[in-house]
Amino acid sequence: MGDRVAMIEQACKEMEASGKIKILRTSSLWETKAMYVVDQDMFVNGACEIETTLGPMHLLDELQAVENRMGRVKVIDKGPRNIDLDILLYEDVTMKNERLQLPHALMLEREFVLRPLCECV
């Protein structure tokens, strides 16, 4: 999947490029074995705290636009991809629709989400 850290740094730049998102703090990056499809490279995970004028759904649109701009390739579900941007928490918002669940549905199930998140609090 190429230089995984470079992908993450590019995503950070893309997120800030529109001026609607400002990254306040970032976590460290953690390397973890892929959980579901195990026959692939290690994943690199991190979290960041942002400031934004966008509401949750518009933020999701923006993140998906970044994924698309970066040419996200996903050959198989939960398989290798060059970038994957999720919203974990949005202030104290609790919501659920077909596109977005807040807090993130699998947040507590995944160490690779919890560990970076803990560094941002």
Contact residues toward another protein (CB under 8 A) are 3, 5-6, 9, 12, 23-31, 44, 46, 119
**Closer residue to another protein (CB): 33 or 99:** 33
Least distance from another protein to the Cβ atom of residue 21, Å: 14
**Closer residue to another protein (CB): 31 or 61:** 31
Angstrom distance (rounded) from CA 84 to CA 88: 12
Least distance from another protein to the Cβ atom of residue 28, Å: 4
Least distance from another protein to the Cβ atom of residue 99, Å: 28
Token pair 């698309």 is at which residue? 68
DSSP codes of every residue in 42-82: PEEE--EEEEESS-HHHHHHHHHHHHHHTT---SSTTS--S
Residues whose CB is less than 8 angstroms from the CB of residue 117 and which lie 6 or more positions away in sequence, other chains included: 27, 47, 88, 89, 107
Q: Which residues are identified as catalytic? A: 72, 81, 84, 86
Structure tokens belonging to residue 41: 């490279």
**Closer residue to another protein (CB): 100 or 110:** 110
What pairs with residue 47 in β-bridges? Answer: none
